[in-house]
Amino acid sequence: MLVRVAIVEDDSALRSMLVGWLSEAGGLEVVGQYSSAESALDSVIQTRPDVVLMDINLPGLNGIECVSRLKPQMPDTQFLMLTVYEDTQRIFQALAAGATGYLLKRASKTELLTALGEVHRGGSPMTCNIARKVVQSFSQSVPSTPESAKLSAREQQVLHLMARGYLSKEIAESLEVSKPTVNTYIRRIYEKLQVHTRAQAVAKYMGRIPAG
């Protein structure tokens, strides 16, 4: 089954290169390419891609705002941010908006294609130094918000592993439980934190998304 991908990137040269990479790769289909958030908002909902590669620094409406508008309307679509920014604030703004992964533009073709496959399988791919920032921020931030009281000790363990990028199968192996059991924990976490993605769950648990 082809993974349907849309690209939102204002740099025409980079956009063309990305289209070329994806078109040459097996198992991927480019179903839309847009030079602005506004043009994406007008038509990407109709194409229903599996994954959207989203630049942050777009003219007019930025990529984070675009994701925040599209995600509620496209809950099954994964958004992978492709950006030059690697500061913690923008990372968590993107995750809070509904992004599932965060990749720097200097990532290689192999890294990008691997990330697309990972995000489609339910992972949260991030460039190594970005993942390190997230893990460090998570480790340094012992949640003391009301959100932490909503989760059981086991659910907190699962969420911690989710924050480190573990897939459900890997969490199951780490905690020595079955994958269906892990999926049940994840579903309960989403329900208790009132979120729809693992990235939003981690961000809200850490107080990066206000309780609402």
Q: Is the domain of 43 the same as that of 92?
A: yes
Residue 200, in any domain of the structure: yes
Boundary (domain end) residue, out of 102, 127, 152: 127
| pLDDT recorded at residue 133 | 63
Could you give the CA distance from residue 145 to residue 9 in angstroms, rounded to a whole number? 36
Residue 132, in any domain of the structure: no
Residue 195, in any domain of the structure: yes
Q: Is the domain of 23 the same as that of 90?
A: yes
When comparing pLDDT for 209 and 84, which is higher?
84
| pLDDT recorded at residue 130 | 67
| pLDDT recorded at residue 70 | 93
Query: Does residue 208 have a pLDDT over 60?
Result: no
**Amino acid identity at 48:** R
Q: Is the domain of 145 the same as that of 108?
A: no
**Residue-wise pLDDT tens digits, 105-157:** 888 999 899 989 888 887 777 766 666 666 565 555 445 556 667 888 888 88
SS3 label, residue 167: coil
**Residue-wise pLDDT tens digits, 87-108:** 777 887 887 788 888 888 888 9
Report the DSSP beta bridge partners of residue 34.
8
Tally of domains within the chain: 2
The separation between CA 68 and the C-alpha centre of its own chain, rounded to angstroms, equals: 12
Residue 133, in any domain of the structure: no
Q: Is the domain of 76 the same as that of 48?
A: yes
| pLDDT recorded at residue 18 | 95
**Residue-wise pLDDT tens digits, 53-76:** 999 999 999 999 999 999 989 988
| pLDDT recorded at residue 212 | 44
**Amino acid identity at 113:** L
| pLDDT recorded at residue 136 | 60
Helix axis angle for 128-140 and 88-97, nearest 10°, is 90
Q: Is the domain of 181 the same as that of 78?
A: no
Residue 97, in any domain of the structure: yes
Other C-beta atoms within 10 Å of 129: how many? Answer: 9
Q: Is the domain of 106 the same as that of 179?
A: no
Q: Is the domain of 25 the same as that of 107?
A: yes
When comparing pLDDT for 149 and 29, which is higher?
29
**Residue-wise pLDDT tens digits, 151-200:** 888 888 888 788 776 778 888 888 889 988 998 999 888 888 888 777 77
| pLDDT recorded at residue 211 | 45
- Residues 96 and 208: beta-carbon distance below 8 Å: yes
Query: Does residue 201 have a pLDDT over 70?
Result: yes
The domain of 29 spans: 3-127
